[in-house]
Chains A and B, each alone.
Chain A
Amino acid sequence: MTAAPPPVFRLENLRKTYGEGEAAVHALRGVNLTVEEGELLVLLGPSGSGKSTLLNILGGLDRPTAGHTYFRDLDLATAPDAEVTRYRRLNVGFVFQFYNLIASLTAAENVELVTEIAENPMPAREALALVGLAARTHHFPAQLSGGEQQRVAIARAIAKRPTVLLCDEPTGALDVATGVHVLKAIVTANERLRTTTLVITHNADIARIGDRVVRFADGTIRSVEKNPQRISPDELRW
């Protein structure tokens, strides 16, 4: 029997408060969670339940008010700014609800923007092929549909072969058919590259594509459930 690999993330009593005194908003009220290597985790919960705050802290975009966020041995809560930037550069791939592509760069160039600064990236074309966009590499964002733009964003996120892929409502702005395409791209990345993936959604159906489902409410984790079987995005209906 071999020892299990160490977890990718280890969160200890994580708290995040915005504002002070009576106006204080407690976004996270003591979250404990462990995320294993290669796992696809779905964070489910209503708006304002704290899931986006958690994702931002995991991505090194925000810092907790109290507690610890370990990425392997690095405590993101206390690491210096430059260290956190380096963590983002080498380990994190982001996918956002509104794509956030650079309008002045083509699909391939948006991906190359990241591969230029990564240590062991895959070629931009390969990343785009992985999300089914091999034919659209030279198009500018303005020439692509919403779904295509989101898939470029996913290609950009995975091209650096990140350790973790963080997706915040990746299908939020898309229709069902397009959303399925996007989720397939995320699942493909997770399966082929063994990228630890966290997907935020408030759509309970989508939760079925993950290994585990973490339910959020009011800044705390209400439950963590293991899906008996991951289903393919193709089988989703919502």
Chain B
Amino acid sequence: MRLSPLDRKLLRDLKRLRTQAVAVAGVLACGVALFVMATGMYDSLERARDAYYDSARMADLAVSVVRAPDPVAEELALLPGVNALEARVSGIGLLDLAGKSDPVSARLVSLPPDRRPRVNDVLLREGRWPNPARDNEVLINEAFAEANALAPGMQLRALIYGRYRVLEITGIASSPEFISAVAPGALLPEPERFGVIWMGREALGRAFDVDGAFNDVVLRLAPGANARDTIAAIDARLARYGGRGAYGRDRMLSAQFLADELASLRTMAAILPPIFMLVAVFLLNVSLSRLVATERSNIGLLKSFGYSNAAVAFHYGKFALAFGLLGAAVGVVTGRLIGNYMAILYAKVYRIPALQFDAELHIYVWAVVVALVAAVLGAAQAVRRATQLPPAAALAPPAPTSFGRLGATVERAARNLDGKTRMVVRRIARFPRRAATTVTGIALGLALLITSQHFPLSMNHIVDVTFGVAQRMDATLTFAETADDQILTEVARLPGVFSVEPMRAAEVIFTAGSRQRRDTLMGLPENAYLFRVLDQKMMPVAMRGDGVTLSYNLAQKLGVTVGDTVHMQATEGQRASADLLVIAVVKPYLAGAAYMELNALGRTLREPGRVNAAYVLFDSARREALDRRIKELPMISGVSFLDSASASMRKLLSQGSGFFSYMFIVFSCLMAGGVAFSAARVTFAEQERDLATLRVLGFGRREVSYVLLAEIGALLIIALPLGAVLGAALSRWLMTQFQTDLFTFPFITDSAAYGKSALFVVLAVVGAALAVRRGVDRLDMVGVLKSRD
């Protein structure tokens, strides 16, 4: 195929403009890559999750019950809306792991004796299924096995319902129910300290003393079933057996963690790529305007030969398309590579089978279309100018660029400047839109970097506040059952313990108007010291008995505020209900609930003097003695030490954030550097003649370089404070966008975040400007002066 002369011209011009093309396409590619990565990862993770949920029959609803006879399960399975149901035995046990002095706890879940679970299936990853005939064989979950170096064939010592048993691990398994396994009362998974153990239904029933009965139901809804109706039917049926109220996936922590991750990916895909696209549009506009200006006489010639406006427009439009295609191609490939890497990270954290980066075709098509549209938008103005140029005007030499005087004040100030600096100032004032593009691009690059620096700050602050200011206990002891507060005396007698504070927690259903929300209602002493609820100013909120204090998230969901009344229905025990006045709304960083003064809560629940957990301070020198004693106490089902919880949380929050911050630095520097390079290239191209003239007049290379670099330097100086302000605003806004049910990200700032980001941006801009500056060394004094323009 023979290329038309115009296309051959296009190819040669593209070759000539290749560095410019790389800068524009680079910025465009960043946007495309982020889009492909975030959207593709969102789709892949959602698809893998849904496939996993489907294939392993993840429960839609769950309910725990004190003890219901087995035949009730068959009745439940027949209720309308129920598709499949598994009645199980489940409970918490303490483990004594070899080589680990701190006690570890686990959720024990029964496996049906003769078949796989109908709901919340278990996937065997290693080893074999337990033999139903042997009641000490168990499976353990993958994350727990990995964190504690446990393997099939090893044994565990478990304290279940007051009795020690030796369990034999036959296999390692995973389940959609426990993608993140969270201990009761804890907020985050701690695989080192909390695991899941599956064992035979009969053996576990005997262990928990619920032989011939069940205490836990998980079920899947039939397609089109109304969850609310089914919940009501189940609750009615289980009421007399101590049913604690059925709930959906929104109260299953593991499902919620995953939903949170998906939400933040979606937020990222929606916010970041458009910023890059916008900058690329401006860059293209600047580059192509310059191209059309230099092509003036060629446009005149083409038109005088009889080429139509459309042909000329198409010719220059092809430049934009070429830039766009290059950006899209690089972006798609980069996005895929980053996506693949992220999928590996996700697979490590979530252990979802078949999780790999697999963006669908439509994502790539969209990425390319968006890149091309961005390119065409950027080129539109320049192309229109090309077609509007009458041939005669295009062929005539261009009039010198007209430089009016600046405002009187600026001119007065300019009088004190030397000629070279005056050139710089007048050029910036003469092309304000271009200067604004450069400033905006550099500022946005800086803003993105600053934002990326703010997330770790926020996360560290959450950990510092949660485990330093709010929670000040050394350990939390969770009781196997709601206990009489006499137990606190026993706790106080544990070795090394010198301070004990009680806590009562109840699962309740709040109702306000038509809105309903299941959540935890916590009772704490009036002036709690070890576990404090903090307000926005970090001041402790005193627990009161005359009403309920709600977390901000919960108040939002219920649509209530201070002074409103909410209806509370307990799901367990006496199943008390009451109307409570909302007396305060607090905004904790981590999954907030509702709070009341401990004794008032006891009265409200019609169960005074009961507690669920105790916060303790102990002498760290006696930790081992305390550990040993706790392992012997059947009343304690779980222990969480503040130091290890804090470490796990830091680990969880920083997972993958190292990679993200690296990616942000690269992308933001590419943006700032690309913008600076384009701006400096255009300035150089436009001023080549002036710069050569200066050289001829006797100015040295350094002086001539000054004229070129001072412009980009001045714009950089304007961009830095602007970028800092933008960065602060963007960070603040993004923190609210990434807020979920579990996390509220506070906007915490630190001058180092700005300083470090500014340093990166300055380096990128200086690097780009110096690359262009090399042109000064190669200025063709003779050639430039011989040509007209």
Residues of A with Cβ closer than 8 Å to B? Answer: 52, 56, 59, 61-62, 82, 85-86, 88-90, 92, 94, 96-98, 100-105, 109-110, 112-114, 116-117, 140-143, 149, 156, 168
Contacts and interface: CB of A to CB of B under 8 A. Distances in A.
Nearest to A56: B782
A105 B423 contact: yes
B401 A85 contact: no
B325 to A, nearest CB: 36
A101 B788 CA distance: 12
B426 to A, nearest CB: 4
Given A85-B700, A86-B698, A140 B689 contact: no
Contact of B785 (A92, A96, A103, A116): A96
A155 to B, nearest CB: 13
Contacts of A149: 400
B416 to A, nearest CB: 13
Contacts of A143: 402
Q: Interface size bucket, B side?
A: 20 to 34
Contacts of A101: 400
A103 B299 CA distance: 24
B318 interface: no
Contacts of B419: 102, 105, 109-110, 112-113, 116
Contact of B403 (A61, A114, A140): A140
B114 interface: no
Contact of B789 (A56, A98, A102): A98
Contacts of B697: 88-89, 94, 113-114, 156
Contacts of A105: 403, 419, 422-423, 426
A109 B690 contact: no
A169 to B, nearest CB: 10
A143 B700 CA distance: 29
Contacts of A113: 419-420, 694, 697
A102 B693 contact: yes
B696 A103 contact: no
A61 B782 contact: yes
A109 B422 CA distance: 9
Of A62, A85, A100, A141, the most chain B CB neighbours within 10 A belong to: A100
A168 B419 CA distance: 25
Interface string B661-700: 0000000000000000000000000000110011111111
Interface string B400-436: 1111100000000000001110110011001000000
B698 A62 contact: no
B465 interface: no
Contact of A100 (B420, B427, B693, B701): B693
A117 B698 contact: yes
B403 A59 contact: no
A79 B701 CA distance: 17
Contacts of B418: 116
Nearest to B697: A114
B3 interface: no
Of B402, B694, B782, B788, the most chain A CB neighbours within 10 A belong to: B782
Contacts of B700: 82, 85
Given A94-B697, A109-B422, A142-B401, A104 B789 contact: no
B735 interface: no
Given A56-B782, A61-B781, A105-B422, A142 B400 contact: yes
B698 A52 contact: no
Nearest to B401: A103
Contacts of A112: 419
B402 A142 contact: yes
Contacts of A110: 419
A77 to B, nearest CB: 16
Interface string B92-122: 0000000000000000000000000000000
A39 B427 CA distance: 40
Contact of A103 (B690, B701, B788): B690
Contacts of B694: 102, 113
A90 B785 contact: no
Contacts of A94: 696-697, 785
Contacts of A89: 697-699
A96 B697 CA distance: 12
Contacts of B701: 85
Contacts of A156: 697
Of B694, B696, B787, the most chain A CB neighbours within 10 A belong to: B696
Nearest to A52: B786
12 contacts: A85-B701, A88-B697, A89-B699, A94-B696, A97-B786, A100-B696, A100-B785, A104-B401, A104-B422, A109-B419, A112-B419, A116-B419
Given A56-B782, A85-B700, A98 B788 contact: yes
Nearest to A96: B785
A161 B699 CA distance: 16
Interface in B742-789: 781-782, 785-789
Given A59-B696, A89-B698, A117-B699, A103 B400 contact: yes
A142 B403 contact: yes
Given A85-B695, A88-B697, A100-B785, 9 more contacts: A61-B785, A82-B700, A89-B697, A96-B785, A97-B786, A98-B787, A104-B430, A109-B422, A156-B697
Contacts of B404: 140
Of A56, A61, A97, A116, the most chain B CB neighbours within 10 A belong to: A61
Interface string B176-189: 00000000000000
B621 interface: no
B396 interface: no
A90 B700 CA distance: 12
A140 B405 CA distance: 9
A61 B696 contact: yes
B399 interface: yes
B423 A104 contact: yes
Nearest to A99: B400
A97 B397 CA distance: 14
Nearest to B404: A140
B16 to A, nearest CB: 22
B340 to A, nearest CB: 51
A33 B690 CA distance: 32
A140 B402 contact: yes
A47 to B, nearest CB: 11
Contact of A102 (B399, B430, B690, B695): B690
B698 A90 contact: yes
A93 to B, nearest CB: 9
Of B399, B400, B430, B689, the most chain A CB neighbours within 10 A belong to: B400
A42 to B, nearest CB: 20
* 8 nearest A-B residue pairs (beta carbon): A89-B698, A113-B419, A142-B402, A88-B698, A104-B426, A103-B400, A100-B693, A142-B400
Contacts of A86: 698
A142 B399 contact: yes
A60 B156 CA distance: 90
Contacts of A168: 785
A56 B786 CA distance: 11
A110 B419 CA distance: 8
Contacts of A90: 698
